[in-house]
Every structure is written in structure tokens, then in C-alpha cells.
Structure 1
């Protein structure tokens, strides 16, 4: 007797979104290695062939998940900056806190995001990954224009700040640092960054 799932049509409004949502849940709970298209199809109640309308294979789904992750990161950073004061220090703090929280609340997704962009042919992911870094460079440029930051390559300076935040998030994700210390460590990192990058008087 055939599996009823194989004959079940798709009745949701958006198959692609449903698959990505299910894939992210699976990623969070089980990791990327155990993610399978057939399991996702079973979970959302469609035929085993249905996911291939949008994702020809498992790698295509992982790539789409990583690309969506970068888009979401860019969106939350932009939202944080839109709600921050024009003061450079306030904008850096807003972006830093949001990034660190995103990185710790979406640890498995973030790992996928940063490993996927190094795969050969992952041009769309690379382009998506550039958006948050470009946004950070824009904030650095604003600080330099305000005289709050020393002259220099905005991208290079932004990478230093990003690396510090990523390091803190990695320590939390690896259980080396308890999560309740995250915000305090980020605040200290931002203070040190602002102090060290301030133009000499």
C-alpha cells in the first residue's frame, strides 16, 4: 500500500516559505547534517517530490536558508539603526547588541550562513553576506564624518568590530560564557572599540 504522504497534494499558500521555515526548525534542533528534503516534505504534509519544485537538491535548500539568514540579519540591523539616535556611539551600540543577539539566538543558522558562502559557486550567498558588512561600513563612515572615529578604511575598521562581536557570540554559543553575560560583554567591547578608535586629541 503506497504511503499516503506521496499522494498528498500541496495546499499551503507558499510552499517555498513553509519549506524554509521547517528547514530552519530542523537545523536548530538537529543540525545541518540531518536535514533532508523527504523529512521536511513529510513534516509539512506534501509529497516527497513537492520540495523539488523550488529546491532541486538538499544543497539548494541549505543555500536558500543561508541567503535568507543574511537577509534577515541585514533587516534587523537596519531596524535597530533606524530606531537609534544619530549619535555615532548610540548607533554602534544598537548594531552591536542586535548582531550579538541574532548570533546567539540563531547559532546553527549563523554557522550555516558563514560556512555556505565559502562553497564554490555560492555567488548569491556571497552577495547576501556583503549587505550586513556594507551596512556596518556605512556606520563607520558616518562616525568618521562626525569626527568620532579616526580616519581609515571603513571596511577594515568594521571588520575589527565585527570580529570582536563574533568572538563573544562564539563563546556564548560554545557554552564558555553564560548567556546572561552577553549584553555586558558587548557593552564593554563597544566601549573599548569607541575608546580605541577615537581620534587623538
Structure 2
């Protein structure tokens, strides 16, 4: 590819172009399909350009995870309660499938990268805040386990949704509405808010 084409990118634009190409590949074929040389071709730059910005494949996936956790934290923070945080979780997975595939695969990226840990901490705090807002009866004896239960429900639903395993069960239902209904079925009356709404 000509250097003239490569020079049309500003420094930040080239990094974004490579990331966008990576997200397209992951969404369509999974993280295993990533190749820096192929991404360079897709972005219309020299084969060395991705390595200049990300060093290697792991560095690129680290950038994907960091961006994903930052977007995820923002999505969770905007939800008013734990159940709506669960809905935001499902919505994030549906709208950012490539990020979602990478974020929860710590074997793919550098989990100790500062940008990853900072964003992941924000997301974790948003989930914990949702559990903390539950009335005492809704958290059970162990608030940490209540958080694990909420996370498992949202993550499991989102994962099954993305993999196409809920197609028959959903019967054309809106995923977010279905998840809201699901929380009411799974959580017992003891785990519901005082106003009768499901705790998650």
C-alpha cells in the first residue's frame, strides 16, 4: 500500500482505524481470526503500522479490552438500579459484541495494563453499587454473593443471546424486556424491592 495513502491518516485516526478494523473482524469471526497484517490491509496502511501503535496482537487486544471496559462502565453508571444495570449489561453485549468477546477472556490481553485495570475497576464499582442499593432483605446474608448472582444472571443471558442459543426461547421478544421479565421469575419475593420490583 502506498505511503501516500498512509499519510492521509492523522496519528490518532490511524490507531482508531486499526481498532475499528479489529472490532469488525472479532464481531464477525472471533478474536482468533485477528491478524495484524490483515488489519493493516483492511485499514489501507503498511503492514508495520499496527505494530507501531500496538506492538503486537496482545497489545491490540489489550486496547480493545480497555476501550470495552470504559464503555461498559459508562453504560452501567447511567442505570438507576441493579435491575437496570443488568439491562444495561445485556444492551452493551448486544451493541458491542466484539468488545464483549474480548473483555471476559483475560488470556487474550494484558490484564495488568493500567488502562484496563482502571476501566474494569469503574465497571466493578458500578455493579457493586447496584447491589449495595438493594434493601437488606434483597442482598441476603452475603452481599458479595448477591453480586455474583446478579453478574451471573446478566452475563449468562448476554452470552446466550450473542451465541444465538436463545433464538427459539425468545420468539421475537425484545431482549431487554425479556431480561426484565426473567429477573422477576428468578428472584424470589424475599429478594425483591419493597415496592414489589425485582431486586435485579
Q: Is TM > 0.5 for Structure 1 vs Structure 2?
A: yes
Displacement of 1:65:
0.7
Structure 1 residue corresponding to 2:187, chosen from 180, 193, 196: 193
Aligned length: 185
Structure 2 residue corresponding to 1:163, chosen from 120, 145, 152: 152
CA RMSD of aligned residues (A): 2.7
**Deviations 1:5-49, CA, capped at 9 Å, x for gaps:** 467433223122221111111111222122111222222222221
Displacement of 1:162:
1.1
Displacement of 1:188:
2.4
Matched, 1:68 2:67: yes
Displacement of 1:114:
0.6
What does 1:120-135 align with in structure 2 at a 5 Å threshold?
A: 121-124=110-113, 125-135=116-126
Please list every run of 5 or more consecutive structure 1 residues that lacks an aligned counterpart in the other structure. Answer: 85-90
Partner of residue 23, structure 1? 22
Partner of residue 110, structure 1? 100
Displacement of 1:107:
3.2
Change (3 A) 1:152 1:71: farther
> Does the residue aligned with 1:110 lie in a helix, a strand or coil?
helix
Partner of residue 88, structure 1? none
TM-score (norm 1): 0.77
> Does the residue aligned with 2:6 lie in a helix, a strand or coil?
coil
**Deviations 1:105-128, CA, capped at 9 Å, x for gaps:** 33343121111x246852134553
TM-score (norm 2): 0.77
**Deviations 1:83-142, CA, capped at 9 Å, x for gaps:** x4xxxxxx2232111111222333343121111x24685213455333322211112212
Partner of residue 141, structure 1? 132
Displacement of 1:151:
5.5
Matched, 1:10 2:1: no
Displacement of 1:57:
0.8
**Deviations 1:60-99, CA, capped at 9 Å, x for gaps:** 10111112111111111223x2xx4xxxxxx223211111
> Does the residue aligned with 2:120 lie in a helix, a strand or coil?
helix
Please list every run of 5 or more consecutive structure 2 residues that lacks an aligned counterpart in the other structure. Answer: 195-200
Change (3 A) 1:150 1:40: closer
Separation in 1 of the partners of 2:15 and 2:141?
Answer: 43
Separation in 1 of the partners of 2:160 and 2:109?
Answer: 29
